[in-house]
Structure formats: structure tokens, C-alpha cells
Amino acid sequence: LPHHDRWREFLANLKYVVIDELHTYRGVFGSHVANVLRRLWRACAHHGARPVVVACSATIANPGALATALCGGREFVQIDRDASPAGPRTFIVLNPPVVDRITGVRRDYLKVTRAVANVLRTAGVTTLAFCRTRKAVELLTRYLREDEAGVDDRGTPVDGAALSRAEKAIRGYRGGYLPGLRREVEGALQSGEARMVAATNALELGVDIGGLDAVVLAGYPGTRAATWQRSGRAGRRQDASLTVMVLSSSPLDQFVANGPGFLFDQPPEHARIDPDNPEILVPHLRCAAYELPIAEGEALAGVAPDELAPALEYLAEAGALHREPCDDGARYFAIGVDFPADRVELRGSLEENFSVLEDAGGRGNDGKVLAEVDFEDAPLYLHPGAIYPLEGRTYEVVRLDWDARKAFVRAVRATYYTEAVTQKKVRIVEPIAGDPKSAGVGHAHVVRAVPGFKKLRFRTHENIGFGPINLPDLELHTVAAYWSVPASMLEGKTGLADPGLRASVAIAAAHAIHHCAAMVLMCDARDLGRAVAACPIPGGWAPVLGSGGRVSAEARLAAGAVPCIYLHDTAPGGIGLATQAYALGPALFEHVLRVVDGCACVRGCPTCIGPSALEPAELPGAPKLTGSLRHHVIELLHALRERAVA
């Protein structure tokens, strides 16, 4: 687009624009793509063209509405007759057994996924195992290869030939792999050399991998749309297929287990975008002005001139645009010689990825590039001393050049993997709505630090060591909803007179609110973050409890005095999720109450109130709970609902 003049003949004669996999353009990514298309329509109009848009979609409830939103208000004719061939399909929902009746803990879902995959592997069934995280992909790939090669639970080595054969038959596939490695894995699946692949959603769509017999889902993917998309990878054409979904203890997974009609009887979710979000729109306006000066009073594919004016003035005042008066108003020109588009990351982060390179051993040149890691994940996976897994192999990070965005690694035979410990703090910079002290929504500042890491043994996950990390903190400016514990809960008669107990109850309630909000808003739980800290103080920081790191006793007491639950967008600037959650009012807490109160556990379990159900009270020496933790969480949710009604 910055060079559209060089493409004037092409753009002037452009008749059709085809958008495949329309349903993938949702959330932050879809909002960015909508603005890229706005700039494309503007360039086409400049060269005298108005192309017809043809879009192909699957597994969403609103393909026509999404296409209209994505393409700047254009109207579409929807054709929804399905004539594609399909064979018989078997779908099994497998809920791991409860291993502790008192706590409600279920068998680890990844171990059950491994067992299911091994049954299919030994039966010669070509299988794709979808995992929710990159770490899970690497662990599952390693374990399945060891099972194929005959390595026992003690890690007894086998002959190299068996392990080499296993490495060819069982592959991993995830974001961060270089294109060459991805193509290699895809080719191995197509040729039949690879019989099983553990993958993230990177293999969910858009890649031709030939015919598969079965799909295993390690956990509910988060939406019905993603579930059916991944399941559809097996049994292409008219062949029979099998899908096995192994559920975790998360509230959403157990919601599916307790009410499978949620998955099988309801349509796929609506896909939503917010291209007018200022954090997304403003950078694209600068790009548009670079491509063609923006005239005062000009509309931009669905954005009215009066809505554009404040953003253009903001960019002019910031020195990013130059406002030049003319006879018919004014025009805005981009300032500078760089391409503004280079500073727009369509998937949400403006920071560069980190490259993972083989350590050259002081020879002066960088070694071979092995992989890439997102900026936000670098402190977690690329700190010095980290074990970086790559398709079943292990590398140790020997040094990290933060400024150059490079991590140098060496191959090792590690018997453990590493897990970073995080600490967070939060503050409300400026309230937007509600009561600044009790409940509301506001602009928030969240800081994440990574002070150290644990060493965990493969298979047993035993903690065998700890190491320090000294890296810059990561900062997020976003929007957060917040709810403080009502005053009625602070009285002794509730049994929560102790600050530590109040904090524990708030952490458990925050877990339930987070997952239920994602359910109601039909978004991925990772699009939202949660925190429990002290109530908002104008401009004041509050350390977050339960964030995986150590928090001082003073900070715990401060948070426990009047705990506050924060729910924030994980996208910079926010994309409206926390605002929508707050706007739900009592309806949100009613939904959470149905989930928590309807759980079959006795005193609270990982399903309804999260890991805090298994953890001791936040403060040493705190008195025991008078009643189950779940009982107190239900009391708190009722109090929050009643305050929201009032």
C-alpha cells in the first residue's frame, strides 16, 4: 500500500478481492485487518476501481455481519448451502476421572491426552493432537517419541535407531518454528512419514496436510467454532473420522462436560471486531496519510468525518501528521521518511520477535537461526538458564541480547524443563465509569516482572531447583473493570474477618469471574487477564496476589484489608472486553453463581474456583475458614450481584 503508485495499473483494473478463512479475522487481528482493507479500498478508489469482495467462511454464526464489518460496511449476499462431502464422524468427550474426591482434583488432562494418543499410535491411526499451549506441544511431542521408542518412566535410554525412527514418525508443529521446519512437518504428514503430530492452532486451518484419521483435542479449544474447525481436520472428503476431546479441570471445560448440549446443540459463536478502537485505528490513519493525504471532511470506509477529526488532530499535535490549510478546508500529510506501516503489528504487539540462534562459541558470527519467540514471551522462555524445547529436543539459553532481540542457545540432554515465576502489579490510571473505590472501569497500567525460574523434572514435574532472572519489566496500558469486596463481607459475622482469608476468597472468585466472563463474552480466556490487589488509589500501585511470585506480607495485608478483583483486556489499549463485562452488571455474577453453585464438589475445586481451592491461606498463621472456600466465594458473588443491582 505505501507503493500503490507502482501498482496503479493493477489496482485500476482490480475486479475481485477474495478473503479466505474469513472467520479467522476476529478480535485484535481482525480489527487490524479491517483497517488494512480500509486503506486498500481508499487506494483502489484513488485509481478508479471498486472491486467485488468474495469471502469464504466456516464455523461462525455471523459470516455476513463479519464480512460487512471487515470490509467497511459493504453489503454481502450470503450463500450457506453446504455441498461438501463428509463421511461418518465420531466425537468423544472424555472427562478425566477424579483422583481426589475431597479436593475434586482430576487426573492431569495432558497425561490422559498422551494415553489416548498412544492408543491411536499403536493402532496405526494417523492423528493430529491439538494442544492449547506451545509448552504442551513440546512436552507431548517428547513423551510420545519416548513412548514410541520404548523409553520407560525412569528415562532409561534406548538405542539411537529407535529414537531416530520415533523422531520421524512423531512431529511437533507450533508458532515460533521457522517456515522451513513447518513445511518439512507438513510434507511429512502428506507423505505419510509422520503418523502423529502435536500442534497448536497453527495447524487449525489454511495448511494442506492431506487426509487424517483422527484428531485429539487436549482441552476444550475455547470456542465451538475452533472445536469444529480442528475436528474437521480429520476425515476429509468421505472418509470416517474420530475426534477425542480430553477435558481439563478449567471451569469452561467442565461446563462442557456437565452440559454437552453447549457444544453439540448450539451454533458457533459470533466473531467480533472493533476496527474503530483508537489504539488500532490511529496507527492506520498515519499509514493512510502516508499513502494519500487525508482531506478534512473525508470519510474512511465506515468512519464518519466527525469521528475521524479528533484522531487526526491528535496525530497532528503529536507531530506525526502535518495539517496544511487549503481552499476547501485542510489536508493531513504524514511526516518523516520511514514507512508508518513498519510500526503496525497486525497481531497486536509493536515489539520485534526474538530470534533463537545456536551459540557460535565465541567465533564472532551468529549461529544458525532455530526459531522465533514473541516479545511478550521472551522473558518467560529465553532468560539465561532457560531450557528451550524445540520439536522434542532441548536447548539451554546461554545468553540473551535484549537490545538485539537475540537469544543464544546450545543443545543439551536436559532431564528437566524450566518455568518462569512472574509477579504483577496494577493501578487504575484514570476511572472511566462507576465508583472509583468500589466498582467501575478505567484505564489501567499493568506491569509484569519475572524475578526467577523453577527447574521441573520431566514426567514427574518435581521441583529440583531455582534460578534468578534479571530482565526488564513488561508494561501493558489497557482497560480494566474492578470490583472491591463489599463492606458487608468485612464484618466478623461472615467468617472473613481475617485479611488473608478475604484475599484467598477474592482470588478464588476472580478465577471464576474471569472464566465465566470469557464464556459470556464468547472470547478466548487469554484475551482477558485477572488480578487481585488492593482497592484502586488514584495513581497508586497495588501488588497482585496469586500471580505466581512472592509478595511481601505487608502487600498481602494491604490487599486483604479490602481486596479488589481486576479484570483487564490483555490487548494494548483494550478492545472493549472488560468494559462489556462491567456493563453486564448483575447478569455477570448470576452466571458465575450458576457455575460455582452448580459444581458437584464439596468445598471448592479447581473446576469452580481454580487452583486456590488447593492452596493454603495467603497469610501464615491465618485462622481456618469457617465453612468451605466455595461457600464463602458464593457469599461474595451474591454480595457483588446485590451491589450491582443497587
* The three cell numbers locating residue 106: 482430576
**pLDDT value at 467 more than 70:** yes
**pLDDT value at 20 more than 80:** yes
Q: What is the pLDDT of residue 34?
A: 95
Element (H, E) at 427: strand 416-435
Q: What is the pLDDT of residue 637?
A: 92
CA nearest to 195, candidates 231, 169, 168: 169
Give the distance, in angstroms, between the CA of residue 393 and the centroid of all CA atoms in the same chain. Answer: 25
Q: What is the pLDDT of residue 481?
A: 96
Q: What is the pLDDT of residue 555?
A: 55
Q: What is the pLDDT of residue 83?
A: 74
Higher pLDDT, 604 or 490: 490
**pLDDT value at 239 more than 90:** no
Tens of pLDDT along 69-99?
Answer: 999 889 999 998 877 777 889 999 999 998 8
Kindly compute the dihedral angle of the four CA atoms of residues 56, 61, 65, 70, in this order, to the nearest 10 degrees. Answer: -50
Look at the chain and count its residues. 646
Q: Please give the mean pLDDT across all residues of the chain.
A: 85
Beta bridge partners of 330: 325
Tens of pLDDT along 144-168?
Answer: 999 998 876 666 666 768 888 898 9
Q: Strands 170-173 and 196-199: what pairing?
A: parallel
Top-confidence range, 237-241, 252-256, 329-333, 561-565: 329-333
Cα→Cα distances 139→321, 405, 419, 459, Å: 49, 26, 13, 9
Cα→Cα distances 183→180, 189, 233, Å: 5, 10, 17
Lowest mean pLDDT among 160-174, 297-311, 546-560: 546-560
B/e letters for 109-118, b = 16+ CB within 10 Å, e = fewer, are bbebbbebbe
Which residue carries 483487564 as its cell? Answer: 568
**pLDDT value at 626 more than 70:** no
Q: What is the pLDDT of residue 207?
A: 67
H-only helix segments in 292-382? 305-317, 378-381
Q: How far apart are CA 87 and CA 525, in angstroms?
A: 33
CA nearest to 216, candidates 287, 125, 293: 125
Q: How far apart are CA 492 and CA 618, in angstroms?
A: 18
CA nearest to 444, candidates 475, 474, 473, 480: 480
> For the residues 10-27, what does the mean pLDDT come to?
91
Cα→Cα distances 295→292, 300, 309, 332, 489, Å: 9, 10, 10, 6, 57
Give helix 499-521 / helix 629-645 axis angle, nearest 10°. Answer: 60
Domains for the chain: give ranges and CATH numbers: 4-72+275-343 (no CATH), 89-264 (3.40.50.300), 354-414 (no CATH), 423-449+475-645 (no CATH)
pLDDT tier for residue 215 given thresholds of 50, 70 and 90: very high
Q: How far apart are CA 399 and CA 385, in angstroms?
A: 8
**pLDDT value at 391 more than 80:** yes
Tens of pLDDT along 223-238?
Answer: 888 898 898 888 766 7
**pLDDT value at 198 more than 80:** yes
Single pTM value for the model? 0.75
Q: How far apart are CA 111 and CA 460, in angstroms?
A: 11
Q: What is the pLDDT of residue 76?
A: 94
**pLDDT value at 568 more than 90:** yes
Lowest mean pLDDT among 169-178, 600-609, 629-638: 600-609
Contact criterion met (CB below 8 Å) for 204 and 173: no
Q: How far apart are CA 442 and CA 435, in angstroms?
A: 10
Share of the chain above pLDDT 90, in %: 43
> For the residues 195-219, what does the mean pLDDT come to?
83
Tens of pLDDT along 120-144?
Answer: 999 999 999 999 989 999 999 999 9
Instruction: Kindly write down the DSSP assignment for every residue of 461-490, as one continuous string.
Output: --EEEEEE-----EEEEEEEEEEEPPGGGG
Q: Strands 439-457 and 241-246: what pairing?
A: unpaired
Cα→Cα distances 31→130, 455, 633, Å: 26, 39, 36
**pLDDT value at 468 more than 50:** yes
pLDDT tier for residue 394 given thresholds of 50, 70 and 90: very high
pLDDT tier for residue 206 given thresholds of 50, 70 and 90: low
Contact criterion met (CB below 8 Å) for 255 and 262: yes
Q: Is the dihedral of CA 110, 116, 119, 125 positive or negative?
A: negative
Tens of pLDDT along 274-288?
Answer: 888 777 888 899 999
Lowest mean pLDDT among 131-140, 264-273, 630-639: 264-273
Q: What is the pLDDT of residue 611?
A: 54
Tell the burial category of 9 from Cβ atoms under 10 Å away from its Cβ (0-12, 13-18, 19+).
Answer: exposed
Tens of pLDDT along 312-351?
Answer: 998 999 889 999 988 778 899 998 767 888 878 787 555 6
Share of the chain above pLDDT 70, in %: 86
